[in-house]
Amino acid sequence: MTLTRPSAAPAPATRTDKTIPRPEYPRPDMDRSQHWLTLNGVWSFEHDDVTRLITVPFAWETEASGVGLPWLERATYRRELRVPDSWAARRIVLCFGAVHHHAVVRIDGATVGEHVGGYASFELDVTEHVSPGISVELEVVVAAPADKRAIPHGKQRSIPRDDYDGVSFTPTSGIWQPVWLEARGRTYARSVVLRGDSLTGIDVSVCLSGDTPAGAPVKVALDSGEHLLLEADADGISRGHLVVDRPRLWSPEDPHLYRVAIRVGEGDGVDEVVACTGLRRFEARGEKLYLNGERCYVRGVLDQGYWPRTGLTAPDQESLVADLDHASALGYNLVRKHLKLEEPAWLYEADRRGMLVWAEPPCPSRFSAEAARGFEDLLPSMVERDGNHPSIVIWGLYNEEWGLDWDIPGSDARAAAAAAAYDRMRELDATRPIVENSGWAHVRTDLVDWHYYEPDLATWRDAVAGLAAGDRDDFPVRLGPDFVVDKSLYGSADVPRHGLPIINSEYGEGFTSLERAWHLRWETQELRRHDRFAGYVYTELADVEHEAAGLLDAHRRPKDWGGCRPSDVNAETVLVFDLVPLRAGADIEPPSEPMPLDVRVSHHGRGPVSGSVSAAWVRPGAPMSTAPARPPVCSSRLTAEPFMLSASVRLDIPAISEPARLLLWFTDDDGEVRAQAFLDAAQVEPPNRRGARPGT
């Protein structure tokens, strides 16, 4: 059915209108909320000679948009725009969080700018195209190719399909992050770059735009009172260093943020913005990671940032930031935001909560000179927008050679593209470790990370031990049902085999949620067994569409973990057992005689911890809080040094004839329980193969 075009585009809504989706100010890290107007809400939407309504900022494929059309490649958004009378003395800037993929922006039919790149934020100074109090028509024409292989598109599905189509999801096209207007000074700070890695002050760089940027005075002041007066050079750029009198460092334990006020000009045309950053330094020293000079072990979880009705866009602010709280409650201190530039509001909340972030852009999926250029072109905008956030401690680039045809080892050109991306990123920001090709075949990197999925725990244990010892540097990767390759940590002889931190940044197995929790317990303990590793990142936080690999479902509800508490698995102090479990639900068989059990402690605190390990049988499936019916058995005293696996202590576990759960806990000398775990004891039956075809 063809709809007639409305006589006028939808009018702007006010911020008090409760029907507006995502009504909050989108950039709390670059606060101009004293003069702004949201443009989220209902827009006119035209495609294929059909006009309907769409709700911004949700991609046109999503249910929340009201459109729900996959594989649409071109559409036009329209709405009425009216600048408040009170903004008459100011410059007007139109801001887009993200539009996939190519946007042409017009006001009353005149083109005011265009942007290519579906994940980067952009803004347009539209002062000369609007008059306060007078309505104009804002039009955004969007092209979103179905064939996305040569453009950065992350996990969006493509036609023709990607090599990794099995782990790709519904595309995200059109306007999919907030849109808003800002009133700024006649000469204004277009960008503010802050770096606090000196730990004693903040390096400040302000790029001006507007009427008279060259030579303009720029005032910089902290909320703690320190201030600085700069003058822009001929290019409108001013730089300086603001010394902090009593530095307070940012860390997960004390995520202190400095609010940096930037003021340009005076009077009615003054420009004011408040940016945020923290004093912190994250660095690699040899094979170890340090935060503010103290050893740091990464306990991370991968997060793809999808929601059931809204796709890559969070349905509301509460849902956006709740994922950080979910990750923290599960025991993680880092989130690897996977192949997505998440909204600045999420990064700001990570700053405030003290959650470490591994940030990475979306990749293309097939290699070409055009694709490599498009990927590199995304990096400056990523660093400019997000580089002030102290929570971001690692920059990722390519993922598993996506956009490099899974073939760094066999192609000098592809290896050169990964190295060039690293070099470009190092030019843009030298204050953080960079991973050029996450998971496989490193050619130029500050961290050696690896992705390894293995269903057999004995094989997993041996492979992890070999990688930790340096006896092996490869592992099998299943790229398809009948396509297994051996991937190496190294794609170049120039990458040192020793002296760089090593992190497993993807792992996890299991068909059911119970099996996944079982693998989480045992695979994580093997990573904690080896002190050479600098951390891990579990895959993943929440399910996405057909990918049911999350600890939470797609609606962020906990799954059945069979008594496992991820917060125990990912704790600062954990128990490590010297055994290979049998299967989910039956780590061991019920011992008919007293059984020796060797236990170790992995501790990542600031100082050593001493105490003993206790164990007691309880009913099958009982929670850790269950009170044992009999007194526990206890080990001799042990001491665990920071970041060093302790020597083992032996427990003599009593015999038991029926299925049961063995609770174990480590209590320090002050009586505090520092680590908890369990073993399930049950009979292991041979698999039922009745009715199988002969020979299977």
Do residues 590 and 621 lie in contact, with contact meaning Cβ atoms separated by under 8 Å?
Answer: no
SS3 assignment, position 377: helix
Torsion sign over Cα 601, 296, 358, 531: negative
pLDDT beneath 70, residues of the chain? 1-18, 696
pLDDT recorded at residue 433: 98
Residue 659's region, left for phi above 0, alpha for psi from -120 to 50, else beta, is beta
State the Cα angle at 492 between 410 and 498, rounded to 5°: 145
Instruction: Residue 366: name the closest of 312, 410, 402 by CA.
Output: 402
Domains of the chain: 30-183 (2.60.120.260), 187-282 (2.60.40.10), 298-570 (3.20.20.80), 576-681 (2.60.40.10)
Give the integer Cα–Cα distance in Å for 670 and 525: 25
Other Cβ atoms less than 10 A from the Cβ of 298: the count is 25
Encoding tokens for residue 184?
Answer: 């700024």
Angle at 616 between CA 610 and CA 620, to 5 degrees: 135
Closest CA to 343 of 397, 305, 376: 305
Give the distance, in angstroms, between the CA of residue 270 and the centroid of all CA atoms in the same chain.
36
Q: What is the pTM of this model?
A: 0.96
The residue assigned the tokens 């782990």 is 167
Q: Among residues 75, 76, 72, 77, which one has the least CA distance to residue 146? A: 72
Q: How far is CA 175 from the centre of its chain?
A: 21
- Rounded CA-CA distance 414/67 in Å is 39
What is the spatial distance between Cα 269 and Cα 222, in angstroms, rounded to a whole number?
22
Per-residue pLDDT at 16: 45
Q: In which element (H, E) is residue 382 found?
A: helix 369-386
Q: What share of the chain is helix, strand, coil (3-state, %, to 5)?
A: 15, 35, 50
Q: What are phi and psi of 171, to 5 degrees?
A: -60, 165
User: DSSP per residue over 291-331, as a string?
Assistant: ETTEEE-EEEEEE---BTTTBTS-SSHHHHHHHHHHHHHTT
Integer Cα distance of 398 and 377 in angstroms: 13
H/E element holding 468? helix 457-469
Cβ pair 624, 663 in contact under 8 A: yes
Strands (E), 329-420: 334-337, 356-359, 392-399
d(CA 502, CA 298): 11
Three-state secondary structure readout of 121-181: CEEEECHHHCCCCCEEEEEEEEECCCCCCCCCCCCECCCCCCCCHHHCECCCCEECCCEEE
The bridge status of strand 334-337 relative to strand 298-303 is parallel
The pLDDT, as a whole number, for residue 481 is 81
Backbone CA torsion sign across 350, 351, 355, 361 = positive
